[in-house]
């Protein structure tokens, strides 16, 4: 017991000493307006000191200020950069945004990734505006990171600058632009995206139609329908899903054709899309997939179809279970006697006596 007590007391002493040293480090950094004392202690082999300084920086971020913390973004140590960025995010002021924005330069391209990502996480219009100004930097790496960071926002002010980058010389930048425009959801981006496909034939069409579905501009229905019938399995499945998001009844016919697509993933997405559109024109093709001939081979998709038919036309599901006859037989008149006495009386009647015709009112 005494040894364990001494060990516990020793650890407590070391923690308190580390915290005192961390407080002195913060004071020194503020005095000299330098992040270097903090960086030196964060690189120490003393785990207690590293932990104490990290805690002191995060709790004293407001006192240190963005000017000092932004210096930590220039170090080669990824842990220190992330810690400094986290501290700046906790401040979330215009000064913090300006400090992060100043770090995004061509000369500092290897360290600016943390600054760009941090601006993306601030989730403020001011941070978004700072990122938009970086789209014009003549560095592929910075442009790509900036485009991806703008996906955190739904700032329509970024639409026009991003549309210009649809002609960027780098394939990865162009692809990121389409994804980001889809997440922003500005209807103005639909037409430029569709036009850009004509001079970028190697683009992954699934990314394009997914973005068009997220944007929600119904002017893209025709383009997406054409993808549903002419491209790869992945692209066709993405097109079916996008048509479900667009929810335009004019796409029902194309989706009904997709019910016979060789790919089960495409057929599943087509049924889901038809469920969102709820068009009665889709009832006959859907019922045909439950019939004996032309039956959907996948049991899960058959269940989807049955559920959808029950939603958009409940009687359709019930009549599909009737015998396959051209006409339903009319019910035969009841001939069984209603009682024993009636049966006896009927049997006792003479066979050669003609009975009067029953009136229409009986």
How many whole angstroms separate alpha carbon 213 and alpha carbon 250?
Answer: 15
Residue 357 has pLDDT above 60, yes or no: no
pLDDT attached to residue 315: 63
Are residues 72 and 80 in contact, defined by beta-carbon separation less than 8 angstroms? yes
**Tokens standing for 111?**
């360290």
Residue 352 has pLDDT above 70, yes or no: no
Interval 1-22: pLDDT, tens: 444 444 777 788 888 888 899 8
Residue 342 has pLDDT above 50, yes or no: no
CA-to-CA separations, 37 to 15, 33, 110, 219, in angstroms, rounded: 19, 10, 23, 58
Interval 321-335: pLDDT, tens: 433 433 344 444 444
Are residues 80 and 87 in contact, defined by beta-carbon separation less than 8 angstroms? no
Band the pLDDT of 131: cuts 50, 70, 90.
very high
Residue 338 has pLDDT above 80, yes or no: no
Burial class (CB in 10 A: 0-12, 13-18, 19+), 267: buried
SS3 for 45? coil
Residue 337 has pLDDT above 70, yes or no: no
For residue 213, give the nearest of 225, 199, 230 by alpha carbon.
225
pLDDT attached to residue 343: 41
Half-sphere exposure for 133 (CA within 13 Å, toward CB): 13
**Tokens standing for 151?**
């996906």
Residue 107 has pLDDT above 60, yes or no: yes
**Tokens standing for 45?**
């082999």
Interval 241-270: pLDDT, tens: 999 999 999 999 999 999 999 999 999 999
How many whole angstroms separate alpha carbon 122 and alpha carbon 128?
Answer: 9
Q: pLDDT over 90 for what percent of the chain?
A: 47
How many whole angstroms separate alpha carbon 86 and alpha carbon 70?
Answer: 11
Average pLDDT, integer, range 79-85: 86
How many whole angstroms separate alpha carbon 284 and alpha carbon 61?
Answer: 65
**Tokens standing for 64?**
């240190």
Whose tokens are 């959801």? That residue is 185
How many whole angstroms separate alpha carbon 239 and alpha carbon 224?
Answer: 6
Residue 317 has pLDDT above 60, yes or no: no
Are residues 31 and 58 in contact, defined by beta-carbon separation less than 8 angstroms? no
SS3 for 169? coil
pLDDT attached to residue 7: 74
């Amino acid at each position: 017991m005494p040894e364990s007590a001494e060990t516990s007391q020793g650890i407590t002493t070391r923690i308190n000493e580390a915290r005192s040293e961390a407080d002195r480090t913060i004071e020194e950094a503020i005095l000299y307006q330098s992040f270097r004392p903090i960086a030196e202690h964060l690189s120490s082999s003393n785990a207690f000191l590293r932990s104490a300084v990290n805690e002191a920086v995060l709790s004293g971020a407001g006192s240190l200020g963005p000017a000092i913390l932004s210096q930590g973004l220039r170090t080669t140590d990824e842990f220190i950069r992330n810690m400094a960025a986290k501290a700046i995010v906790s401040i979330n002021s215009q000064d913090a945004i300006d400090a992060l924005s100043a770090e995004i330069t061509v000369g500092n391209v290897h360290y600016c990734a943390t600054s760009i990502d941090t601006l993306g996480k601030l989730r403020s219009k001011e941070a978004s505006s700072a990122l938009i100004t970086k789209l014009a930097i003549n560095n592929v790496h910075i442009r790509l990171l900036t485009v991806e960071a703008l996906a955190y926002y739904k700032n329509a002010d970024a639409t026009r600058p991003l549309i210009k980058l649809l002609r960027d010389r780098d394939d990865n930048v162009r692809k990121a632009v389409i994804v980001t425009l889809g997440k922003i959801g500005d209807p103005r981006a639909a037409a430029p995206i569709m036009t850009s496909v004509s001079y970028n034939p190697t683009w992954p069409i699934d990314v394009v139609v997914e973005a068009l579905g997220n944007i929600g501009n119904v002017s893209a229905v025709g383009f997406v329908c054409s993808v549903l019938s002419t491209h790869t399995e992945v692209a066709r499945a993405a097109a079916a899903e996008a048509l479900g998001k667009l929810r335009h009844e004019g796409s029902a016919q194309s989706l009904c054709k997709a019910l016979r697509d060789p790919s089960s993933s495409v057929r599943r997405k087509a049924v889901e899309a038809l469920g969102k559109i709820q068009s009665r024109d889709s009832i006959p093709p859907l019922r045909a997939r439950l019939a004996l001939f032309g039956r959907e081979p996948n049991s899960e998709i058959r269940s989807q179809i049955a559920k959808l038919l029950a939603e958009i036309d409940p009687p359709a599901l019930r009549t599909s279970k009737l015998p396959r006859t051209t006409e339903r037989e009319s019910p035969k008149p009841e001939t069984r006697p209603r009682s024993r006495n009636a049966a006896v009386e009927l049997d006792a009647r003479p066979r050669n006596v003609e009975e009067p015709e029953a009136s229409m009112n009986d």
